[in-house]
Amino acid sequence: MSPAQVSHFPASPREGQLTVPTIPDVQKQTILDYLKAFGLASELTEPEKLQFIEISQAFGLNPFKREVHVAVYMARANTASYRSLRATRAI
């Protein structure tokens, strides 16, 4: 390849490799403490907890300061039902 054909973008993960986001333990534990303190830990599944943590960290929001809230909704479409997670930023 000539230098003109070389991409400056990072290479994508190789087939079979998974990229897992790393979460700093301190922040993750703080958000898990919030979920336990408000009785939400038992209401959320593990993937929903991880999703809420990722959203909180991505936007730099602290649930203890009421900057972000989480709610789970049950919905029914025709004969199937599903859960929907909503993380809302406080104004």
Q: What pLDDT digit, counting tens, does each position of 35-70 carry?
A: 898 888 888 889 889 888 888 888 888 888 888 888
Contact 49, 35 (CB under 8 A): yes
Q: Where are the domains of the chain?
A: 22-89
pLDDT of residue 16: 58
- Residue 16 phi/psi, 5° resolution? 95, -15
Task: Please give the span between the terminal C-alpha atoms of the chain, in angstroms, as a whole number.
Answer: 51
pTM: 0.61
Single out the residue of 66, 64, 65, 86 nearest to residue 75, CA to CA.
Answer: 86
Class of residue 55 by CB neighbours under 10 A (exposed 0-12, middle 13-18, buried 19+): middle
DSSP assigned state of 29: H
Residue 77 exposure: Cα atoms within 13 Å on the Cβ side: 4
Note the pLDDT tens digit of each residue in 73-86: 887 777 677 788 78
Rounded to the nearest integer, the mean pLDDT of the chain is 76
